[in-house]
Homo-oligomer: A and B are copies of this chain.
C-alpha cells in the first residue's frame, strides 16, 4: 500500500486528536482509501510535555522548517494557532509544493485571498474543512454539494462558546459573567475568551463561508460584528416572553431580486430567533448552519463545531482528500473565484426588525416622546411591553420594531439615548425573521 507522508505543525489539543484518530482508525482509513496516512514529522515548541497518545520521540522537532524541508512530508497540517507564523508556514509549504490542510479560521479570514492566489498559481490545493464549523462538513457542502446553487442565505450558530453561554443564561437564568466562568470551568472557553465573546471567531468563519458561497474573498473590514458581552439575563427573559431565543447568529444573505453584481450582507451579532425555527433549539456547544440555495431549497447541518475529536474528524477528511489529490490532481485548489457578486452591503443599509430595551423614568409622556422619535425616522412599532417590575428609579420598556435600515435605527437610538427620561444606554438587538 502506498504511504502518504504527513507533517503536523502545532501539537496541541487538535494536533493530538488528529494523531490519535489516524492511529486509532488506521485500518478503516486504509481500507477506505487504499492508502496509508503516516505521520512523518511533528513540529511544536514544546516537544517534551506528555501527550496521549505519545508519538515516538524521533518524530518531533521544534522547527517547522524541518517539515518543509523533509521530502517524505507530502502534506502539511497547520494547527499552530495565531496568524503570523502560520502564514509564513503555509506560504513556505505551498512554495515547496506541499499540499496544505489547515483548521485556522483567523489565518484564512485575514490571508485567504493571498493564500489561494498562490495555491491556484502553484496548482497545490489547500483544504480547510475544520476551519468553519469543526465536524460539520459545511465547506464540502458549499464547494461541492451545492455547486449548482446560488446561495440565497446562510444563518449559522458557529461559535460553540457563545452558544454555550447563551444556553446557560437561558436555561439556568445565569448572568453573563457567571455563564462565562462556567464555560471556562467546563473547558468550553479559553482562558482568554475574547475572540469567542466579541464575535470575531464566528466572524472569521462567516468570512470563509461567504467567500466560498459568493466567489470573492470577503474583507473583514466590510462586515459587521458584535459579540454577546452586552446581552443580559433580562434581555433573554423578555425575548422568551415574546417567543424568541437569543443566539449569536452569523447571517450571510444576498438580495433575491438582484441578479448581477449584488452586494451581500455579512454580519455577526446577537439575534432574536423565533422559537419555532430549528436554530432556536440548537443548544450548548453545538453548531448549526441553515443554508438556503436557489435550487436545493432549505437545508440544515448540525454537529459539534469544536473540540478535539470533531475537529480531528474534519482534518482527517481533508487529509484523505489531500492524499487522493496527490495521486490525481484536481483542478480545484481550494477556493474558486467566480465574480458574480463582489461587495458587502454597508451595515447602515442592512434592514432587519429590532428589539429595543430601555430603562426609563416612570412618568406620563415618556412613551409619547420615544414613539415620536421612532415615527420621525419612519420606524414602525409592532409591540410594546412595559412590565410592572421596577428597577430602582426606572422601569424597563421593551419595544419590538418593524424592519428598518440600520442607519435610521442608529439615528433614532441616539436621539432616544439623549432623552432626559432615558437612563442607561439603550439595548438594541436585531430580530431575524427568516422571511
Copies of this chain in its oligomeric complex: 2
A299: nearest chain-B partner, CB-CB = B303
Q: Is there an interface contact between B148 and A144, defined as CB atoms closer than 8 Å?
A: no
Taking the closest CB of chain B, its distance from the CB of A112, in whole angstroms, is 17
Give the segment of A73-81, A313-321, A342-350 that binds chain B. A313-321
Give the segment of A134-142, A179-187, A198-206, A401-409 that binds chain B. A134-142
Known contacts A25-B148, A148-B25: does B278 contact A295 (CB below 8 Å)? no
A215: nearest chain-B partner, CB-CB = B31
Q: Is there an interface contact between B281 and A295, defined as CB atoms closer than 8 Å?
A: no
Query: What is the CA–CA distance of A34 and B294 in the complex, to the nearest angstrom?
Result: 21
Segment 277-313 of A: residues with Cβ below 8 Å from B: 278, 281, 286, 293-304, 307, 309-310, 312-313
Q: Is there an interface contact between B303 and A316, defined as CB atoms closer than 8 Å?
A: no
A410 within 8 A of B: no
Query: What is the CA–CA distance of A293 and B296 in the complex, to the nearest angstrom?
Result: 26
Q: Of the candidates B147, B150, B299, B313, which one forms a contact with A146 in the assembled complex, judged by CB atoms under 8 Å apart? A: B313
Query: What is the CA–CA distance of A390 and B149 in the complex, to the nearest angstrom?
Result: 55
A interface residues with partner B (beta carbon < 8 Å): 21-22, 25, 27-29, 31-34, 129, 135-137, 140-141, 144-150, 215, 278, 281, 286, 293-304, 307, 309-310, 312-314, 316-317, 320-321, 324, 327-332, 336-340
- List 19 other contacts, CB 8 Å, given A137-B146, A144-B320: A21-B148, A22-B148, A25-B148, A27-B340, A29-B148, A31-B336, A31-B337, A32-B215, A137-B141, A140-B144, A140-B145, A145-B313, A145-B314, A295-B313, A297-B303, A297-B309, A298-B302, A299-B301, A300-B301
